[in-house]
Structure 1
């Protein structure tokens, strides 16, 4: 036993997995009943007599009495929320296999570049064909695939660098991706790592081959496409740049579509996933309604924006209505880029908190309420402040609105930082070390599921985290951020990868040489957890730990759910991280 206390088997709580789910009230899918945390008291007397009681008023007389808590936990799981822009058809899901769809090795790209002047690269894996557009029976007529030099006399990958204003959405419902592109475009050096600028679209060095890079499951991978783009009547059908001679937006969207199997597969996704794919950073989704302290959220967004974080926001709604605006000028089921956060001084209203938002449609579909481009309230703001804000009055899809209206109109914000934000204040904190270890949940071996069954939970992979130095001399705690990412790379064009409901739990240990046994969980509370299990690609856990040894346990909600995962650990001070081997595998 982890605490030196022995308990009869009959006291071990049993939570059956079968029949655990019930229909959720909001129609989002199946979810379990409310979480509960039952606690009993174990009385250990000097005569080593154990009495298990359910009420603290029942205590046996003894010379010395020590109490311990018997922990029982009923954990819950939920399905990730719909984005609102999912298409009419959704890809059937399958188990993860090789995951290399769309990825190419550097050597293969070098081979493709050796073409004659008359030849232009044609991508056989993602051809200029209907199958690259749609996986469903959706019909798109009169599509012609054209190269940039066939559309513009002088095409360029970038014109005067990259900007959020470049991104213009087309007929595809992939604003979750394009709003992320616009967010990352505020840092051109990062975007140029994804789309290397030294690629010709005409003339010397031109081959018709375009290479992009995406961060996928712990590594930067290469994706190459040819530069043939779907058009109709001589115009691009899908995403484009606001400058018709610039093509980085359209070609990046095509490369991302190849990773997903088709353009249609990009309909309906999570902005935080796209931002991680473009940066390799850490992203988190924040539900606005679930944050009672709205001022705390504002301070977080303000700091995050000023410190270079990438932020998007989305609205609830039906994807069928995402082609038109509501009475406020906003689009239901749509993702926007948060391009600025500021506080202005108004001559009558005092200090006012504002948020600048950009619609990837990049047209006149803009907020028409208070603080809109033409609102009279701007007359009370000095010219100096307006110049500092970069305020314009043009129909480009970008607008300011009050923070209160922002909270009323938007459902969630997704924040992506290149490094960790330990205390969740919007500032990327100093990092001394970053370590990552990949692992696997194996059915019947190491896929133990959640703590609804402690015996099975103990079979999950376990990782020893050792922290020795506090953040500061005045404080004896170490800030640590732990992320667990499940494998997500696509294997087939016509099948999506099934996403498990995942979570991570941290426990302190006094025995760094061995795995934690099931008995440890009955008598010890966790030091930190990612919370409700959810089928996000990555879940995060922030903790402040005293120097010592800790065990990280990543898990799926249901047992015997196989999959691959990666543990990422960040800390402002040095630490050690290693896998604790299963004792059975050593015999």
Structure 2
């Protein structure tokens, strides 16, 4: 295949969504003479994802472009920022990003392959490419579009016979699950999915108008996608129009900057686009403002001023600064995200995928100190042949740290202060994204953040004590309910761990973490001396006198001919010793019996029974101690600590498999499950110790993970 030389997931060899191959499907349709109909994204209400309107006057039909317009075309002339108009779907964030994309032909061609037409070779099928968490994905759609009362229901072009934007919207809706999944969002999502770049936000109020204008101008010259936003104070304000003609809670694309002379005074201008395709700014320097009468006609032509209601308009930067709250930027190349002026700078990229599993690896924020350490963490080694001196960005107060708040929001840890003094840093660009949240019926982003800890001269596991005794040397800032959080971080060479987390514990979710480092720095995952391994201490407690008496009495009572107890008899013995709520079922007792050397008889002698009774009483005490809410069950967070107290220290991957094996997917583990965990781990440890050196080469953790699932 022609694409085999390219990595799967690259723009040249994208992942095929739903395993649909565009060329094969198109050729099959052309050969059969029938137009393509997509069976994976049906032309009915299920793809819209909203209840059907019972009013027959609002019936939705699905038509192909040539059924809507006789002279339908995919693209009329060239694409531009005014091609896209928002329909009856609250996805201005997506369309604003798409407007920005039209200004960059090379980027646009990545998303919208240029060979597509509604004429030659037309088969009713189109394909588009979107970036998704480190990979480019190709999405195939047919061209049946939802129509109501003769008009496209959703996105449309100002040129009524042009359909590329409506088809891009359909492909993106298919990728996300439904059209309704596109309701509400941040422009950064769309900009990242159209480019693979990193998007971040910037407060307008942080800069004086001339400085802001220079920054916007420089960003546009670097190919950065820009958009802006007016914050709505309440949900009722969203979509309302200000006296100046600006829409609150609405995304605008920033399409250009320029300057003109008025009465010998330089006026700095910003050009914006409202995705609605109408409703424009009515203040100074708007399309029909008299200010333009004092500007040379050649300048007006150069600026391509159009006095039509197309959603695009100019605004002075001072007015822009007073009306708008936030600018969102998406840089395709990391260079524009760093303050370094080195034109030869290049970057290496490291990517990770992970999950927050409730009760297991969803530890919540630093506010939840007993569980924060259970969050996934990624070890990084950073060495630099060429470090640079840069000013630290202002560090945000970490709103999940109660101790910091009590201390008046102390900004940085002692380690970070030392870094400032030294001044020599390596630049990291870190972004944490939560995956696939839009594919759910109701879009709801978790509040997420990441923290970075220095691992220096630390021996032992990265456990609760480690994270409780240290403060992060870098972090994304306050927890935000957005798809992604980003931060430029300056760090000394050394070993670190990055901990992504949700604000509250036990919130399920998948995430994608990407880290850029300047080439010359070695950025990678390494096993430090502090990495957690499986450790076991065989704890032998002498039997209590009352246990000896109880076991002897039980054996005498059973009157077994060979002075041994089978699993059922042992169950009765154990449950007479343990508290009622912690009785063991027969299967667990059978497991305990088979774990002993019974010479093939599956029956316990007095010594073995006494040993197990003592062990179970100790395990019950441990369980009670770590069952903090006295529920009679424990979470995986509590399980880890209880295992440690029992002499077994496991890493998070082993605990996950244990939970799947003995917790049956439930959020709480009963006492008999805890007993099974300990029994299985001890038996496997003994088995591993008896293995040959050749078998042990894979390491204990790998060996355990393979056998625990059996």
CA 1:399–1:474: 2 relative to 1, 3 Å: closer
Matched with 1:392 is: 306
Matched with 1:197 is: 114
Structure 2 length normalisation: TM-score?
0.62
How far apart are the structure 2 equivalents of 1:311 and 1:428?
22
The farther-off stretch of 573-582 and 161-170 is: 573-582
The farther-off stretch of 529-538 and 506-515 is: 506-515
| Structure 2: gaps (5+ residues) | 1-15, 391-423, 534-649, 652-699, 702-710
Instruction: Please state which structure has a larger fraction of its residues in strand.
Output: 1
Matched with 1:158 is: 75
Q: 1:123-202 counterparts in 2 under 5 A? A: 123-136=38-51, 138-139=53-54, 141-202=58-119
Matched with 1:7 is: none
The farther-off stretch of 513-522 and 397-406 is: 513-522
Q: Which whole-Å deviations, capped at 9, do the CAs of 1:353-412 have from their partners, x for residues lacking one?
A: 32111112223x211111112323334444554444333333322111112221222232
How far apart are the structure 1 equivalents of 2:129 and 2:174?
12
Q: Which whole-Å deviations, capped at 9, do the CAs of 1:430-487 have from their partners, x for residues lacking one?
A: 4321121112223333222211134422222222222222656777321111111111
| Equivalent residues of 2:210, 2:268 under 8 A apart | no
Task: Give structure 1 regions of 4+ aligned residues with deviation exceeding 6 angstroms.
Answer: 318-324, 424-429
Q: 2:255 aligns with which of 313, 325, 339?
A: 339
| Equivalent residues of 1:214, 1:278 under 8 A apart | yes
Task: Tell me whether 1:120 sits opposite 2:66 in the alignment.
Answer: no
Q: Which whole-Å deviations, capped at 9, do the CAs of 1:1-38 have from their partners, x for residues lacking one?
A: xxxxxxxxxxxxxxxxxxxxxxxxxxxxxxxxxxxxxx
How far apart are the structure 2 equivalents of 1:270 and 1:354?
25
Q: 1:107-506 counterparts in 2 under 5 A? A: 107=21, 110-111=24-25, 113-115=27-29, 116-136=31-51, 138-139=53-54, 141-202=58-119, 204-289=120-205, 291=206, 296-317=211-232, 325-348=241-264, 350-363=265-278, 365-383=279-297, 385-420=299-334, 421-423=336-338, 430-469=345-384, 476-488=424-436, 490-491=438-439, 495-496=441-442, 498-506=444-452
How far apart are the structure 1 equivalents of 2:62 and 2:457?
63
| Equivalent residues of 1:104, 1:221 under 8 A apart | no
SS of the aligned residue for 1:104 comes to helix
Q: Quote the offset at 1:174 in angstroms.
A: 1.8
Q: 1:555 aligns with which of 477, 501, 513?
A: 501
How far apart are the structure 2 equivalents of 1:304 and 1:385?
23
Matched with 2:525 is: 578
CA 1:343–1:425: 2 relative to 1, 3 Å: farther
Q: Quote the offset at 1:526 in angstroms.
A: 2.0
The farther-off stretch of 251-260 and 294-303 is: 294-303
SS of the aligned residue for 1:150 comes to helix
CA 1:323–1:230: 2 relative to 1, 3 Å: farther
CA 1:366–1:465: 2 relative to 1, 3 Å: same
CA 1:379–1:511: 2 relative to 1, 3 Å: farther
How far apart are the structure 1 equivalents of 2:339 and 2:454?
23
Instruction: Select the structure of larger CA radius of gyration.
Output: 2
Q: Which whole-Å deviations, capped at 9, do the CAs of 1:308-328 have from their partners, x for residues lacking one?
A: 111112234477777774431
| Equivalent residues of 1:300, 1:425 under 8 A apart | no
How far apart are the structure 2 equivalents of 1:507 and 1:117?
61
How far apart are the structure 2 equivalents of 1:296 and 1:474?
23
How far apart are the structure 2 equivalents of 1:441 and 1:268?
24
How far apart are the structure 1 equivalents of 2:460 and 2:348?
24
SS of the aligned residue for 1:132 comes to helix
CA 1:173–1:523: 2 relative to 1, 3 Å: closer
| Equivalent residues of 1:527, 1:543 under 8 A apart | no
Q: Quote the offset at 1:184 in angstroms.
A: 0.8
| Equivalent residues of 1:147, 1:228 under 8 A apart | yes
Q: Which whole-Å deviations, capped at 9, do the CAs of 1:113-154 have from their partners, x for residues lacking one?
A: 412453111123322223333513545724332211223344
| Equivalent residues of 2:260, 2:267 under 8 A apart | yes
Task: Tell me whether 1:510 sits opposite 2:427 in the alignment.
Answer: no
| Equivalent residues of 1:104, 1:222 under 8 A apart | no
How far apart are the structure 2 equivalents of 1:300 and 1:425?
15
Matched with 2:492 is: 546
Give the number of aligned pairs. Answer: 480
Structure 1 length normalisation: TM-score?
0.74
Matched with 1:84 is: none
How far apart are the structure 2 equivalents of 1:502 and 1:429?
34
Whose RCO is larger (CA < 8 A, sep 6+)? 1
| Equivalent residues of 1:216, 1:489 under 8 A apart | no
Q: Supply the RMSD in Å over aligned alpha carbons.
A: 3.1
How far apart are the structure 2 equivalents of 1:383 and 1:214?
42
